Amino acid sequence: MLYQRSSQLFAEAEQVIPGGVNSPVRAFKAVGGTPIFVKSAKGAYLYDEDGNTLIDYINSWGPMILGHAFEPVVQAVIEKAKLGTSFGMPTELETQIAALAVSMVPNIDKIRFVNSGTEACMSAIRLARGFTKRDKIIKFAGCYHGHSDSFLIQAGSGAVTFGSPNSPGVTEGTAKDTLLATYNDLENVKTVIEANKNEIAAIIIEPVAGNMGCIPPVAGFMEGLRSLCTENGILLIFDEVMTGFRLARGGAQELLNIDADIVCFGKVIGGGLPVGAFAARNEIMNYLAPLGPVYQAGTLSGNPLAMAAGLTMLQTLNNDQAIFQRLADKTAYLAAGIDKVLKANNVVFTINTVGSMISVHFDADPVVDFKSASKGDNPTFKKFFHGLLQEGIYIAPSAYETWFITDALTYEDLDVTIQAIDKVSKTF
Ligand SMILES: *Cc1c(COP(=O)(O)O)cnc(C)c1O
């Protein structure tokens, strides 16, 4: 397949947009080459500017769980647009989507809508700090919670001491309030809590990690975290921006049977429009302005087009109780197929899956945290990525990303993908 026009468009974009992209991972830095410019998409397929058709395993990094341009969502947006695209005033639609979300997700009474997952996580942390009157938070290495300052932190000199900024522009002052812990390592979390007694407002975690590949919590880890939080007056924040309305009707809380104190949403909840949200029980949410003292606001929050897309998406998921099983079945089929061909071609690998999330790691050891995820063979991943691109299969241009299975993918698409992986892995 040729990607000539994409290369041209990228060169033009680089003149006026930093790195030619509006979000860094799109730039193919981790795999080399130039990004593909998309023209349109429908169902399981992307149609690019060179006239190629690609089977899509990124799906806008998660939102398009029903496939691209899902007709009812598109219609809802068109109809709403005719009535005005933004008011900065309350609409009935906002109550409708809030009520539906509250009915689908365990352990939440109220939800506040924002414009991105970043905003949701940033606001959840502020709310947790205001509510507990404590400053520090714990996050896990390899978990992503958007690009706000508090989360752009890497491990500092000692694991139990404060972190240091991992981007210029993040101040040391901000970094000192973020503590780093190791995913799936409860003893490590205990040590960090002990060293910062009565100072920690919240532990924020991806309940199933999806930003270092797909990494499920090991048995007992999430239960242990829940107990530690309760014992120490720490709020447990589930960042379900990726897992919410994806792993189950009620997200990872339902799948893992663990109640979080605050839950963050994004991606699926917006049906492909810019939406985030955070939610909790009344005692916590009532702490938010205008009811309570913690400030949070947004000119375009609850935007009618975004709420129309999100409501239609949630209604569809809510009315189709079989969808999450269907997605898990497709994922299992794909995983089994990949497993078979990679083994036959003597490739060293590990596959992780949870529900409709799947990641392939080119390393033999179990991938359970950031350190083990980082061990994957990157040159092999690059060959894998570019090989699949030539076969018309689009996976994320980074070894640290989850693939997203959508309802639009057919078993035929999955077979085509498995055959392509067979062909490509013969060249490793
Ligand atoms: C994507 C993502 C975010 C950030 O959401 P944006 O909408 O990109 O700001 C936060 N947390 C998790 C777990 C995510 O996957």
Contacts of residue 402, Cβ cutoff 8 Å, sequence gap at least 6: 210, 211, 213, 214, 242, 357, 358, 359, 396
338 with 312, same domain: the answer is no
**pLDDT greater than 50 at residue 159:** no
- pLDDT one-digit tens code per residue, 9-64: 999 999 999 999 999 999 999 999 999 999 999 999 999 999 999 999 999 999 99
- Among the three residues 260, 291, 319, which one is the final residue of a domain in this structure? 319
Nearest partner of 258 among 215, 291, 229, 293, judged by Cα? 229
CA distance 219 to 258: 12
Of 101-115, 158-172, 203-217, 361-375, the one with minimum mean pLDDT is 158-172
Give distance in angstroms: CA of 65 to centre of ligand 1.
15
Neighbouring C-alpha atoms within 13 Å toward the C-beta of 141: 22
Among 115, 122, 123, 144, residue to substitute to test ligand 1 (most atoms within 8 Å of Cβ):
144
Among 60, 64, 212, 267, residue to substitute to test ligand 1 (most atoms within 8 Å of Cβ):
267
Widest CA span of the chain, in angstroms? Answer: 61
Q: CA of 159: how far to CAs of 125, 165, 335, in Å?
A: 21, 14, 35
- pLDDT one-digit tens code per residue, 57-103: 999 999 999 999 999 999 999 999 999 999 999 999 999 999 999 99
167 with 272, same domain: the answer is yes
329 is catalytic: no
- pLDDT one-digit tens code per residue, 326-339: 999 999 999 999 99
50 with 184, same domain: the answer is no
Could you identify the atom of ligand 1 that is nearest to the CA of residue 61?
A: 1
Instruction: Indicate the burial class of 60 (C-beta count within 10 angstroms; 0-12, 13-18, 19 or more).
Output: middle
In this prediction, residue 213 has a pLDDT band, given cuts at 50, 70 and 90, of very high
Three-state DSSP class for 11? helix
Of 22-31, 130-139, 199-208, 277-286, the one with minimum mean pLDDT is 22-31
Q: What pLDDT does residue 225 have?
A: 98
Of 128-132, 159-163, 180-184, 298-302, the one with minimum mean pLDDT is 159-163
Contact 100, 279 (CB under 8 A): no
* Number of domain units in the chain: 2
Among 123, 241, 245, residue to substitute to test ligand 1 (most atoms within 8 Å of Cβ):
241
Q: Average pLDDT over the chain, rounded to whole? A: 96
Indicate which CATH number applies to the domain containing 199: 3.40.640.10
**pLDDT greater than 70 at residue 384:** yes
135 with 245, same domain: the answer is yes
Residue matched to tokens 């130039």: 34
Nearest partner of 177 among 198, 147, 199, 144, judged by Cα? 199
Mean pLDDT of the region 337-354:
98
Give distance in angstroms: CA of 211 to centre of ligand 1.
9
Ligand 1: residues with CB < 6 A are: 116-118, 121, 144-146, 206, 210-211, 239, 241-242, 266, 276
- Among the three residues 259, 293, 319, which one is the final residue of a domain in this structure? 319
Q: Residue 11 sits in which domain range?
A: 4-69+322-425
DSSP annotation of 27? G
Per the rule left: phi > 0, alpha: psi between -120 and 50, beta: everything else, 54 is beta
Could you identify the atom of ligand 1 that is nearest to the CA of residue 117?
A: 5
346 with 216, same domain: the answer is no
103 with 191, same domain: the answer is yes
76 with 182, same domain: the answer is yes
139 is catalytic: no
Give distance in angstroms: CA of 152 to centre of ligand 1.
13
Strand partners, 264: 239, 278
CA distance 80 to 78: 6
Instruction: Indicate the burial class of 42 (C-beta count within 10 angstroms; 0-12, 13-18, 19 or more).
Output: middle
**pLDDT greater than 70 at residue 160:** no
426 is catalytic: no
Q: What pLDDT does residue 161 have?
A: 60
Q: CA of 310: how far to CAs of 63, 95, 118, 245, 403, in Å?
A: 10, 12, 17, 11, 22
Could you identify the atom of ligand 1 that is nearest to the CA of residue 121?
A: 10
192 with 336, same domain: the answer is no
Contact 5, 49 (CB under 8 A): yes
Q: How large a percentage of the chain has pLDDT more than 70?
A: 98
Residue count of the chain, please give it: 428
In this prediction, residue 2 has a pLDDT band, given cuts at 50, 70 and 90, of confident
64 with 116, same domain: the answer is no
Give distance in angstroms: CA of 171 to centre of ligand 1.
22
- Count the neighbouring beta carbons within 10 Å of the beta carbon of residue 74: 15
Q: Which two tokens stand for residue 260?
A: 């979080």
Residue matched to tokens 């930093």: 18
Q: Which two tokens stand for residue 342?
A: 């990679």
Q: In what order do the strands lie in the sheet with 357-361?
A: 350-354, 357-361, 403-404
Contact 155, 340 (CB under 8 A): no
362 with 408, same domain: the answer is yes
Could you identify the atom of ligand 1 that is nearest to the CA of residue 143?
A: 13
Give distance in angstroms: CA of 22 to centre of ligand 1.
15
308 with 347, same domain: the answer is no
179 with 248, same domain: the answer is yes
Give distance in angstroms: CA of 364 to centre of ligand 1.
29
Instruction: Indicate the burial class of 287 (C-beta count within 10 angstroms; 0-12, 13-18, 19 or more).
Output: middle
